[in-house]
């Protein structure tokens, strides 16, 4: 295997919520995402995972403020993009295009009265204004097929779809512009275990096929161990341990990592179970 090449680097990032008293949500975090890898970000509720993810995609809004550090995207075309310095057109050309995000709880916030097709077309209208209707339709159908949903579902409205299908739609939308990085914030947490596994397998397959890198955020460390190349463990705004999935599984060093590992006794399969099982999700799973 060739040496890892970074696609996204965060150095000494600090983010605060400027409320009274201020919340130091992310404290001096440094993190590197390599091209094509899955980096798991684990940690309990409130430790700062979503805040860090928003920072990395320049999505922070007041009262959140990045108070220090730098975030650099290493473009496939060879030049670096200083994410913190982007504004206006630069930001529009960056977000969704280079890094896309599947938001925590987003499947429940899809606009229920707008068809799936209109919501996908909206991305093209914003980012690819010259795209013909025929091309938009073809790409939208391709995207649904990619995530294991029948293209006839394009005319559906979100309220007509199951949770698993809505989440697949969110992933399809995040893939729309063929990004180099996808940030997935608890993409399966609200779903039952069978649907969750189906979607995770789909993400693994897509990653294999399309080559994007993933930051996969969840409090479920055992699940991350099954799917990630590397894992960072976050506690109270800081990364307290980082290593390959194998290292975190076999030789966790931090007490908190050990605690997280033992808090999900339900997963007892060998590492790699998700990855190896090549089954297509059943129709029930995706309906």
Ligand X SMILES: Nc1ncnc2c1ncn2[C@@H]1O[C@H](COP(=O)(O)OP(=O)(O)OP(=O)(O)O)[C@@H](O)[C@H]1O
Q: Name the phi and psi angles at 20, rounded to 5.
A: -110, 110
50 vs 228 by CB, closer to Mg ion? 50
Could you write out the DSSP letters of every residue in 210-221? H--EEEEEES-H
Shortest separation between residue 182's beta carbon and ligand X, angstroms: 17
**C-alpha span between 174 and 212 (Å, rounded):** 11
What is the closest distance, in whole angstroms, from the C-beta atom of residue 259 to ligand X in the complex? 15
Q: How far is the C-alpha of 242 from the C-alpha of 39, rounded, in Å?
A: 10
Residue 48 binds which entry of Mg ion, ligand X, none, CB below 5-8 Å type-dependent: ligand X
The piece of 98-106, 165-173, 225-233, 277-285 that touches Mg ion (CB under 5 A) is: 98-106
Pick between residue 263 and residue 280 the one whose CB is nearest to ligand X: 263
Cα Rg of the chain (Å, integer): 19
Q: Does 218 bind Mg ion (CB under 5 A)?
A: no
Exposure string of 212-238, with b = 16+ CB inside 10 Å and e = fewer, is bbbbbbbbbbbbbbbbbbbbbbbbebe
CB 44 to Mg ion: min, Å? 10
Q: Please state the closest distance from residue 101 (CB atom) to ligand X, in A.
A: 13
Nearer to ligand X, 45 or 152 (CB): 45
Q: Which stretch, 42-50, 200-208, 218-226, 248-256, contacts Mg ion (CB under 5 A)?
A: 42-50
Closer Cβ to Mg ion, 218 or 228, answer by number: 218
| Selection from 32, 41, 40, 35 nearest residue 3 by Cα | 35
Q: Does 50 bind Mg ion (CB under 5 A)?
A: yes
Instruction: Count CB neighbours of 153 within 10 A.
Output: 18
Q: Tell me which residues touch ligand X (CB under 6 A).
A: 17, 19, 23, 25, 43, 45-51, 63, 104, 219
Other Cβ atoms less than 10 A from the Cβ of 283: the count is 9
Query: Which residue is nearest to Mg ion, using beta carbons?
Result: 50
Residues that bind Mg ion (CB under 5 A): 49-50, 104
């Amino acid at each position: 295997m060739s040496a890892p090449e970074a696609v996204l680097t965060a150095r000494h990032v600090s983010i605060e919520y400027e409320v009274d008293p201020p919340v130091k949500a992310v404290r001096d975090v440094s993190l590197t995402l390599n091209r094509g890898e899955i980096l798991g970000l684990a940690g309990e509720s409130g430790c700062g995972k979503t805040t860090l993810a928003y920072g990395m995609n320049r999505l922070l809004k007041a009262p959140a403020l990045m108070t220090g550090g730098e975030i650099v995207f290493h473009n496939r075309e060879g030049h670096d993009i200083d994410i913190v310095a982007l504004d206006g057109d630069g930001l529009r050309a960056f977000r969704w295009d280079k890094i896309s995000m599947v938001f925590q709880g987003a499947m429940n916030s899809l606009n229920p009265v707008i068809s799936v097709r209109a919501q996908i077309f909206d991305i093209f209208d914003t980012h690819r204004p010259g795209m013909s209707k025929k091309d938009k339709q073809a790409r939208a159908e391709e995207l649904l097929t990619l995530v294991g949903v029948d293209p006839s579902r394009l005319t559906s409205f979100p309220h007509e779809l199951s949770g698993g299908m809505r989440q697949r739609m969110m992933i399809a939308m995040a893939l729309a512009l063929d990004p180099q990085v996808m940030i997935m914030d608890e993409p399966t947490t609200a779903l039952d275990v069978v649907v969750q596994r189906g979607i995770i397998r789909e993400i693994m397959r897509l990653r294999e096929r399309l080559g994007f890198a993933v930051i996969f955020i969840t409090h479920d460390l055992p699940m991350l161990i099954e799917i990630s190349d590397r894992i960072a463990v976050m506690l109270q705004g800081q990364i307290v341990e980082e290593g390959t999935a194998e290292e975190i599984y076999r030789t966790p060093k931090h007490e908190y990592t050990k605690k997280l590992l033992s808090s999900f006794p339900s997963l007892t399969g060998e590492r790699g179970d998700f990855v190896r099982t090549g089954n297509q999700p059943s129709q029930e799973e995706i309906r």
